Amino acid sequence: MTRRAQTDVAVLGALTTAPMTGYAVRASIVETLGHFWSESFGQIYPTLARLTADGLVAKDDDGRFTITPAGRTRLRARLAEPYDVGPPRNPLLLRLFFGRTLGPDACRALLRDAGARATAQLAALAAVRAEVAAEPPSPDHPYGLITLDYGERMARAHLEWVEASLAALPPCR
């Protein structure tokens, strides 16, 4: 699935929850998908314009967008498509790969920062889990919990990797 098609999925999916402005679509994506997906305003507004022109989204007089029946059909079809996982672009791994040039102390600092970020992410996800637990279950509940569980497991695995990587570095001078 192309990047454009994935942006369509994020925008159309956000609009399944309620009619909203372009700004609210972006905010919804950040709030609900932000732990594993991002879209910029520069992607949202052209996508909304294209989806409107294609009849997949309608815009009301108040500037709010609503997914149309054709949009729901397209969303279902896009969600069922196979997806490609491109090569990751991880700036931390890029720096660590060239760690001999950077030096072990700088690599340690990068790893400690990565550990702090993973710890903060776990705390943020714990807050999301508490919010979800306080809400009445909805038909979307199990699907949200699946993605939440993924984020928690990945953050814990990242912390474990950080600790192992710190131990693997040459000793401090």
DSSP secondary structure string, 64-113? -EEE-HHHHHHHHHHHHS----PPP--HHHHHHHTHHHH-HHHHHHHHHH
What percentage of the chain carries pLDDT values higher than 70? 99
Q: Can you give the pLDDT at residue 155?
A: 96
What is the predicted pLDDT for the residue at 88?
76
What per-residue confidence (pLDDT) applies to 164? 97
The amino acid at residue 75 is L
Per-residue pLDDT at 98: 93
Instruction: Say yes or no to pLDDT of 48 above 90.
Output: yes
Residues 6+ apart with CB under 8 A from 128: 35, 148
Closest C-alpha among 30, 146, 165 to residue 90: 165
SS3 59: strand
Q: Which two tokens stand for residue 17?
A: 């929850």
**More confident call, 83 vs 108:** 108
Place of tokens 């079809």: 77
- Which of these, 126, 19, 27, lies nearest to 71 by C-alpha position? 19
Is the pLDDT at 25 greater than 90? The verdict is: yes
Higher pLDDT, 30 or 64: 64
Considering only residues 87 and 98, tell me which one the structure prediction assigns the higher pLDDT. 98
According to DSSP, the β-strands at 65-67 and 57-59 are antiparallel
Which of these, 21, 54, 25, lies nearest to 40 by C-alpha position?
A: 25
Residue position matching structure tokens 């979800």: 132
Confidence of residue 76 (pLDDT cuts 50, 70, 90): very high
Mean pLDDT in the chain? 92
Who has greater pLDDT, 56 or 137? 56
pLDDT for residue 172 is more than 80: no
Do residues 11 and 25 lie in contact, with contact meaning Cβ atoms separated by under 8 Å?
A: yes
Tell me, rounded to whole angstroms, the distance of Cα 5 from its chain centroid.
Answer: 15
Give the mean model confidence (pLDDT) for residues 57-75: 96
Give residue 36's pLDDT. 80
Taking 70 as the threshold, does the pLDDT of residue 173 lie above it?
no
Sign of the torsion angle spanned by Cα atoms 50, 56, 58, 59:
negative
Q: Pick from 4-8, 26-30, 44-48 the range whose average pLDDT is largest.
A: 44-48
pTM tops 0.85, yes or no: no
- Which is nearest to 33 in space by CA: 47, 50, 12? 12
